[in-house]
A and B are shown apart, each in its own frame.
Chain A
Amino acid sequence: MVDSKQLPEPENQAGAAFSGNDELIQRRRRDFFTSLALLLLAFAMLAKSLTFPMTDSYGGVTNAWYVSPALFPLSIAVTLGLVSLLLLRRAILDGGARRRESASKGRSKASFPASASCRVAVIMAFIGLYVYSFVPSVDFALASALFLFLFITPFYIEKVALIPLTLVGAVIACVLITLLSHRPTSQQYALDLVAIATLLTVATIAWWLLRHSPSECRKLRTVVLVSIAVPLVLVPIFRFFLLVPLPVEGLVIDTMQALVSRLTAQG
């Protein structure tokens, strides 16, 4: 990154003015599209609210417009529409609706997996896969361990090759989990075993990729340790101390449960 303090004064100011103006146009351009989306949302809300009972009777109660369940959503939809129009007007006045010309000029183009937008997409993908695929299907402790390992590895070790590796690992695990969860299987913990297999495979490949760098191998060991330790601490707190049943209790939690039962029986 260029240190702005090192630039000569006039050039620095001109650059700042250019980038400030460019930034404003880019922001207004985003505002232009957002306001259109918000207008659409306001319109959809308005249309849906108009289907709610207004003055007709509902549940045996004769309605008046001022007690209608539509009143508040309608007010919100109309106000949202009006404010979105104001935002649209400001975006157009500030040049946000103009055809894009040099917005991308001068913007640094980082390589695919290292760019900021790619990192954002990867983070969203990991969180999405964890919530929508791992948590509802796999033992919570295993789902969390797998998520932590896949998520921490590329961001902590900061090696570009690890982003596609962990992402592909997560997607393959997701596909296998989806396929297996729709098929009857004799193996009780089949999905948990998929998670363990994914974790071991990705860890092995990562270790193989990093084998020439002792510092990175050390970091990988830390990731493995954290990924295993955190669920082993969190799950007993929630399951056995706060008595919260976890979304899926499989291989690990059943084993913990058996252990706790044995300990209490002995105690």
Chain B
Amino acid sequence: MDFIAQLSVFAHAIWQILTNPAMVALLLGSSFLGIIFGALPGLTATLGVALLTTLTYSMDLQTALISLIAMYVGAVYGGSYPAILINIPGTAAGAATAMDGYPMAQRGEGGKALGMTTTASFIGTLIGMVALIALAPLISEAALQFTSYEFFLLALFGIIISGTLTSKDLVYKGWIAGLLGLALSTIGRDQLQFFPRFTFGLPELDGGIEVVPVLIGAFAIPQIIRTLRDRVALGSPQPVKRVLPEFRAVFRNLRHVIRSAFIGVGIGAVPGVGEDIAGWVSYGTAQNSSAHPERFGKGEPAGLVSSETANNACIGGALIPLTTLGIPGSPPAVMLLGALMLHGLNPGPMIAITQPNFLVELTAIIALASLAMWINGMFLAKHVIKVLRVPSSIFLPIVAVLSVIGSYALGLSLLNLYLMVPIGIAAYVLGEMDYPISPLVIGVILGPMADENLRRALMVSEGSLMGFFERPVSLLLIAVIVLTIASQIPAWKRYRSRLWKKFRGRALAGKPAHGADDHQ
């Protein structure tokens, strides 16, 4: 599709949504709901998208997407409210925002901080959107050349990289979480021979484990347990007078905004790594590159703008691998993938052929979702602040009821519920022992892809593993996987640092000689 045709589809999608009052109401409503979900400590963007998925079940794909994307964008932004006003980030993505947002609010600049985060998030989401529309077609086109070898390795890479980057403790724990997800994905009849695996004679398990109840269990139950266990008591929010767009203040930090947006897109595109890491990396980079790093943590607008731009730009980045390869870039994108699959859409390279307008329509929805977020942020900020006064001991049990009814409603099966609870408890226990949960759910989602493509690839090469080494992309993926794993092995780390020292020593030894040559 050429640029003009794409622009026409984009404008048509925007027009179609904006001229339909029901769609506009859904867009604004979902965005507001998302902001509330992000603002309430204990609720996350992932959980918001998970619970909303159950309500979009009977909607058509476009309507469901409007609702889910608006919720996603709103929830990532909403985390900044409690971060700024009560120094408790509503989501992990908002944690870096608290560093400078709360000191600003303490100085009586809460309204200014909220205005800046709203505009910065808006710009960040738009830059992420531009990156999505610019890069996704290129990746999609390249991915069309992929065969079973590449798809198996891509799935493997997704699990390994998310396990590596999301582990707070030992890297093995991330890999174990991914392997447990893969193990869960093998339950049910296999896709090539329909042989029942690990079904224990239960016909209900023949179809395998449904993704959405697993996601709801893995994200909702640990969150409920942890927040109520720790008795997270919220302080009184700092007073806010007026929330204005603060264009001038944001413009003064334009270089931070642009750099953070690129960081957000880049980190978002890495499978399983989400908005929280984007926020922190961007904050750290802004501090390191600032002429006044000592001002960071004391109410520096550059810090605030950097973290908020990056975590919202991450949304577009996370959707790049999701739409082109079927590999979600962040935890909420994992949930979004589950929702798309529920609506009969299988994202991947073929989507450009089966649904040529999908990407452009998605881009239009992101643009409108960011606009809805900005409007809600500007005009309804004071109402969101009221929500911060609702105790978690009241809203979390309600979330539990929503999780139960949501899990049941998707397959009308009690088995989904019966599985959701042990998965949730296991996720809580694993989380307590510093096992990341994202690789587990990514494993559940990518497991069937890995299984089917491994066997198809071996079928093509009649059991020979050489097929994996005969294709350039496949070889590149193998190299990346091996390097990712090797980079975590202590012996390799030691060897690398020895090599680096030797190289630096040689470079330093060579310098005076060069200098001497120059003088001569």
Contacts and interface: CB of A to CB of B under 8 A. Distances in A.
Contacts of B405: 140, 144, 234, 238, 244, 246
A238 B402 CA distance: 11
Contact of B193 (A69, A136, A245): A69
B458 A130 contact: no
Nearest to B410: A244
A243 B59 CA distance: 12
Contact of B421 (A52, A77, A90, A131): A131
B225 A124 contact: yes
Interface in B249-294: none
A131 B193 CA distance: 34
A127 B400 contact: yes
A257 interface: no
B401 A76 contact: no
A69 B192 contact: yes
A87 interface: yes
B197 A244 contact: no
Given A132-B418, A230-B401, A238 B458 contact: no
20 contacts: A27-B169, A63-B193, A67-B458, A67-B459, A76-B183, A120-B225, A120-B229, A127-B224, A127-B400, A130-B404, A131-B418, A135-B404, A135-B408, A144-B404, A156-B393, A222-B394, A230-B398, A242-B409, A244-B409, A245-B412
Interface in A128-173: 128, 130-132, 135-136, 140, 144, 147-148, 151-152, 155-156, 158
B408 A247 contact: yes
Interface of A: 27, 30-31, 34, 38, 41, 45, 48-49, 52-53, 58-59, 61, 63-67, 69, 71-73, 75-77, 79-80, 83-84, 86-87, 90, 116, 119-120, 123-124, 127-128, 130-132, 135-136, 140, 144, 147-148, 151-152, 155-156, 158, 222-223, 226, 230-231, 234, 237-238, 242-247
A138 B193 CA distance: 40
Contacts of B408: 135, 244, 246-247
- In terms of DSSP, what is the predominant structure of the interface of chain B? helix
Interface string B105-141: 0000000000000000000000000000000000000
Given A65-B463, A124-B225, A247-B414, A234 B402 contact: yes
Interface in B405-436: 405, 408-409, 412, 414, 417-418, 420-421, 424-425, 428, 433-434
Given A76-B183, A148-B398, A247-B408, A123 B455 contact: no
Interface residues of B, number: 59
B179 interface: yes
A45 B183 contact: yes
Given A123-B224, A155-B228, A69 B179 contact: no
5 residue pairs, one from A and one from B, having the closest CB atoms: A66-B458, A155-B393, A69-B190, A69-B195, A72-B451
Nearest to B224: A123
B86 interface: no
A84 B182 CA distance: 15
